[in-house]
A = this chain, B = another copy of it.
Amino acid sequence: MSQMDDINSYLDDNFDAFVDHLRQWLEIPSVSTLPEHRADVAAAAAWAAGRLRDIGFPQVEVVATPGHPLVMASWMIDEAQPTLLVYGHYDVQPVDPVDLWLSPPFAGTLRDGNIYGRGASDDKGQIVLVMAALQAWAKVAGQPPINVKMVLEGEEEAGGESLAAYLPNHLERLRADAVLICDTHMVNDLQPSLITSLRGIVCAELAVFGARSDLHSGSYGGIAPNPLHALCLLLSRLKGEDGRINIAPLAEHIPTPSEAERQLWRDDSLGIASGLLAGMGVAESVGENDYPLLERIGIRPTLEVHGIVGGFTGAGSKTVIPAEAVAKISMRLPSELDPQQVFTWLEEAAQTLMPRGYRLEVRCLHSGRGMSANPDHPAVHLAAQSVEAVFGRPPVFLREGGSIPIAALFSELMAAPVVLLGFGLPDDEVHAPNEKFSLQQFRQGMKTVAHYLGRLRREENFSPAMPPPV
């Protein structure tokens, strides 16, 4: 039996323990955007550090930051071997509306071959599968086959400022030959995929001010500025029913996809578009319907409104005209665009499109660049081979609609390829009620990562095209 067979057996034999690890972590409600969960976020960091020590990492540290802590670990086995930096995030999205969850969001409930809980797929489950792969190597071979560093942050869902600030000042500590991020999803449970680009993101608030105080619609309705209505006018102008974003310089800067990519989007031989429609539970998409769905997800910019704050939103009615109202919006951007630049375009367009009689403040909550990975790099190739070895078919290379700003920073600052190898599924309900992770994906993910670690080992299968270790 080969070493890889031993490792796979170890992963199968101990699978229930790994599920239990994930369940323990899911029980810690590490919601990074809500101040009341600060201690929980810290507890989730401590849990991760404990696990990494248990696996055998000789160096594990919880690093305090102005925000939530970083969990840093490294296991250097041999300077002649390449170093893989594994990135993940242990913070999770808020869970509201909580009454739509079929089981408690912070419980890790097993049902129908899945584990349910906030963070199951995004991203705790995908970190735990990497931990499992490392534990298998440690138990079977005494150590990982290559040098491994890990950095886990607690602010991915809250802008990721602390790691973004830490990274440029600690490049030596984090230096690696490749960065592995397991925080994306596959096309479906049969068809694995590797992500070649991530969209950038800007999260912003449009704050509109009208009268000096809230007003009664009986006394002032029909003559008063109504910031809620002004936001409706503004948002309908920034993006129409046709989905076109009315920010002139943006339209001029959308990159032109290659003909091959266009072909892929048009043909959609994997039926990804119909999977997306099924995921939404709708018969037709909304927005720029003159573009293929995959083009819209992959390269078109988006502008979405996520919430409107102001006035009365309780039960019943209150005929108040609020003095101010705020829209929370985000824009997803093709990886080629600079989000800070786009924010200034947004601000200018919003001020221009704003109805008369109001004051508008456009605030940047956070932003992050997109990134693209070269599919020809050996670190990406070897990942594709590992996927094929476990899943039985080669992965497709896709542009991903989501944003992992830190991936762009790694790519930019570390001059290392970022391998986006995700095991989520499109119906994981990431960011929504009833988030889950397929146990089958969890198992295959462990085996794929364990395989990848072995492939990266220099004297065995390491591609000669891979640059020498740092």
Contact = CB atoms under 8 A, between A and B. Distances in A.
Contacts of A235: 229, 232
Contacts of A402: 216, 218-219
A33 interface: yes
A232 to B, nearest CB: 4
Given A229-B235, A236-B236, A307 B302 contact: no
A contact face: mostly helix, strand, loop, or mixed: loop
A164 interface: no
List the number of copies, as a whole number: 2
A304 B317 CA distance: 12
Given A33-B316, A312-B307, A429 B276 contact: no
A355 to B, nearest CB: 5
A304 to B, nearest CB: 5
Given A317-B203, A319-B431, A433-B214, A219 B297 contact: yes
Interface in A395-452: 400-403, 426, 429-434
Contacts of A470: none
Interface in A199-222: 199, 201, 203, 210-222
B311 A280 contact: no
B321 A226 contact: no
Contacts of A426: 219
A108 interface: no
A223 B310 CA distance: 27
A126 to B, nearest CB: 15
Interface stretch (A284-292, A339-347, A373-381): A284-292
A35 interface: yes
B357 A213 contact: no
22 contacts: A33-B314, A33-B315, A33-B316, A94-B312, A94-B318, A96-B312, A201-B319, A212-B280, A216-B432, A219-B276, A220-B280, A221-B297, A222-B302, A229-B305, A241-B355, A286-B355, A304-B319, A308-B310, A308-B311, A316-B365, A317-B330, A320-B432
The 6 nearest A-B residue pairs measured at CB = A218-B402, A212-B281, A33-B316, A307-B311, A214-B432, A221-B302
